[in-house]
Amino acid sequence: MTKCIMTVDDAVTMRNMITFTLRTTGYEIVGASDGVAALDVLKTRQVDLVITDINMPRMDGIELTRQIRAMPGYHAVPILLLTTESHPEIKSQGRAAGATGWIVKPFQPDQLLAIVAKVLPSPQLAHV
């Protein structure tokens, strides 16, 4: 069964880059432009991993993480925070909200693939 990853970012180019990188490894990708839109999608569709920007309009990634953790079926789903922020206080807030990990922008596609592989095995690699 194909694993589904949600990417949440207000920058279309960032969502497209993540989508392009992860689709090449066999994941299904769904996107949302901010936390409010992401929650709407998650109410009707289960995903296996969420990659979210922190700084977004309407609802930031830390609040989105809190709300996802409160949803039935999402207590253990990995959530990766994607941001340019590297302040220890922001990272601490992310961990307290329930984030699994952190990806600092800018990043190389190989870095993204390595981090995703740690929290969610690739469908192609699962059969090796």
Beta carbons within 10 angstroms of residue 40's beta carbon: 11
Q: In this model, does residue 92 exceed pLDDT 60?
A: yes
Q: In this model, does residue 7 exceed pLDDT 90?
A: yes
* Residue 6 and residue 32 in contact, taking contact as beta carbons nearer than 8 Å: yes
Residue 107, domain CATH: 3.40.50.2300
Would residue 128 count as lying in a domain?
A: no
Would residue 125 count as lying in a domain?
A: no
Count structural domains, the chain. Answer: 1
The pTM for the full model equals 0.91
- Predicted local distance difference test score (pLDDT) of residue 121: 65
Tokens of 118: 């740690």
- Predicted local distance difference test score (pLDDT) of residue 60: 94
33-81 residue pLDDT tens: 999 999 999 999 999 999 999 999 999 999 999 999 999 989 999 999 9
Would residue 126 count as lying in a domain?
A: no
Would residue 103 count as lying in a domain?
A: yes
Domain assignment of residue 14, given as a range: 4-119
- Predicted local distance difference test score (pLDDT) of residue 107: 87
User: What amino acid occupies position 100?
Assistant: T
Position 124 confidence tier, pLDDT thresholds 50, 70, 90: low
Would residue 127 count as lying in a domain?
A: no
